[in-house]
Structure 1
Amino acid sequence: MEDFIKAIIMGIVEGLTEFLPVSSTGHLILTGELIGFTGERAKTFEVVIQLGAVLAVLVLYQKRFRKMLNFNFRKGSGLNALHVAIAMMPASVLAIALHGVIKKYLFAPETVLIGLVAGGFLMIAADRSKRPVVAEELDDISYKQAFYIGCFQILSLWPGFSRSGSTISGGMLTGTSQKAAAEFTFIVSVPIMFGASAADLIDSRDFLSMSDVPLFLVGLITAFVVGMIAVVTFINLMKKLRLSYFAYYRFALAALFFFIIL
């Protein structure tokens, strides 16, 4: 029963933080340290429950995903599958090449704190950038902007940096509005997290058993339900709050956990 309570706690944390620019992976690692849910099994659990939050995006943006299946790549046709493929490419290539190194050396509280602080400074820089907005809406994003945003997404391979934080910052630094960059982050996260979850489950098959399935399902379902609420809430927040406010939260969180954990 204790493990299921931990799974629910981790699922809630994942659902609340996956789409905020505060690093869901960082929050999961730090929360896992606090409640004593660590080790290889916990690392795989963290990736799997991220899939629950991503499924929430798939449901909420289902019309958008269906539209992208038309494969209309002409200029001015709006956001399509090619935008997503271009944005995924830089980080995906490095993630495949460095997967073992990242999981072995970077999934630790110390590295998360570094990522939280460094990512916060990037977000402040993006917020204060004077770059004119040329893509106000999601359908205004160009292929070139998608590629640049994808390059910024490489930073999210460092736990604590945040996928949404790096991509939103990258979008704003290349002329995308804060809201459009946030929505683009949601869209791109779906295929990336499906791939990451599948790869991690394959790598972890030797030390996982069927008895782990109920625990993983509880965490995944919890993250899905909370994620549904969080996505809608986040979009509304991005209309009202500057990106810097999330950076200040990251600094405060890093300071708090520095004294608790280290």
Structure 2
Amino acid sequence: MDFITILKAIILGIVEGLTEFIPVSSTGHMIIVDDMWLKSEEFLTRYGANTFKVVIQLGSILAVVVAMKDRFIDLLGLGRRNKVGFEEQGRLKLTHVIVGLIPAGVLGVLFEDYIDEHLFTTGSVLISLVFGAFLMIIADVFGGKNPKVHTVDQITYKQALTIGLIQCLSLWPGFSRSGATISGGVLTGLSHRAAADFTFIMAVPIMAGASGISLLKNIEYISFDAMPFFIAGFISAFVFALISIKFFLKLIGKIKLVPFAIYRILLALVIYIVYF
């Protein structure tokens, strides 16, 4: 395997890591960076495009677990409640997360084939980028002024379910999982930071489940020859997702969602100009 192939894997991993958890659509960026610049279709076909995407997503998932390890330890009942930093924790339970996951999980299973066949197109992604941007603007205008919930530990089951229902929009490629769920959280009364925290927590089981299923379906592409390609993408996705998560959590409370929405609209315009 030559250096250029490894370099392309690293670049795609960087794109995945930087964009998976911020509300700008990792799918839209993959289209621009890969289809328009890297032109790595030959390599992704050889090593399995879906398999590679799963592997680098696993790198991003691991980054969330590392960045929020204390929270996940506490959710699983393995943390000490009297430990410093956990005094205010405990109200967010694993059941809150499960309630938030159910709607998208059910619809994802029912419509997986339809989504794969009809919505993974450039035109579809363009539309979802813009619609997702409008949802984010609406969230900031109507829901971001006086949040009632300032920490994820204050979330109710009703809010978790509502966020889960809005998360279903992210099944449309390009809409952005984080964009939908953070917007849903803000619209239901969460602060931007609390909504982002809940978004990242929910991302781990739903992405891990979807990635696991996809990996099993494409296991034939996992070979010794392909390992350097997968490992390079995995590591770069992990490192840059970790950076992105920490930076975004500090930033979201200050700039809200509108700047990201504007960026999404500009991104859609760039894709439209180049493609159409």
Q: Above 0.5 in TM-score?
A: yes
Alignment deviations for residues 49-104 of structure 1 (CA, whole Å, 9 cap, x no partner): 11211111101111111111129xxxx94111111111111001111122222122
Q: 2:180 aligns with which of 166, 175, 194?
A: 166
Contact 1:29-1:107 at 8 Å conserved across structures: no
Report matched runs for 1:34-183 at 5 Å: 34=36, 35-38=38-41, 41-70=48-77, 77-130=90-143, 132-183=146-197
- Do the aligned partners of 1:135 and 1:141 also contact (CA within 8 Å) in 2? yes
Contact 2:143–2:188, Cα closer than 8 Å, also in 1: no
| Alpha-carbon distance in structure 2 between the residues aligned to 1:133 and 1:225 | 32
Aligned residue identity for 2:73: R
Q: 1:184 aligns with which of 174, 198, 203?
A: 198
Q: Distance in 1 between matches of 2:194 and 2:139?
A: 14
Question: Deviations along 1:7-66, whole A, 9 cap, x unmatched?
Answer: 111111111111110111222233221221336622332232112111111011111111
Q: Distance in 2 between matches of 1:208 and 1:156?
A: 28
- The 8 Å contact of residues 167 and 181 in structure 1, kept in 2 or not, is answered as yes
SS state of the match for residue 226, structure 2?
A: helix
Contiguous gaps of at least 5 residues in structure 1? none
**Structure 1 counterpart of 2:4, one-letter code:** E
- Paired residue type of 1:167: T
Name the CA shift for 1:81/1:211 in 2 (closer, same or farther; >3 Å): same
Give me the TM-score of the superposition, normalised by structure 1: 0.93
Q: Write the distance in 2 (CA, Å) between the matches of 1:229 and 1:208.
A: 28
Q: Is the 8 A contact 1:28 1:46 kept in 2?
A: no
1:163, CA displacement in angstroms?
A: 0.2
Q: Which residue of 2 aligns with 1:228?
A: 242
Match of 2:261 in 1: 247
Cα distance in 1 between the residues matched to 2:107 and 2:184: 18
Report the AA paired with residue 53 of structure 1: S
Moved over 6 A (4+): none
Higher mean C-alpha deviation, range 17-26 or range 143-152? 17-26
One-letter code of the match for 1:82?
T
C-alpha separation in 1, matches of 2:238 and 2:143: 37
| Equivalent residues of 1:25, 1:46 under 8 A apart | no
User: How far apart are the structure 1 equivalents of 2:200 and 2:17?
Assistant: 13
2:217 is aligned with 1:203: yes
Cα deviation, 1:209-253, whole Å, max 9, x if unaligned, reads 442222111111100011111111001110211211100000001
TM-score (norm 2): 0.88
Which whole-Å CA distance do the structure 2 matches of 1:57 and 1:207 have between them?
A: 26
For residue 232 of structure 1, what is the amino acid of its counterpart? K
Aligned to 2:77, what secondary structure does the other structure show? coil
C-alpha distance in 1 between matches for 2:232 and 2:122: 25
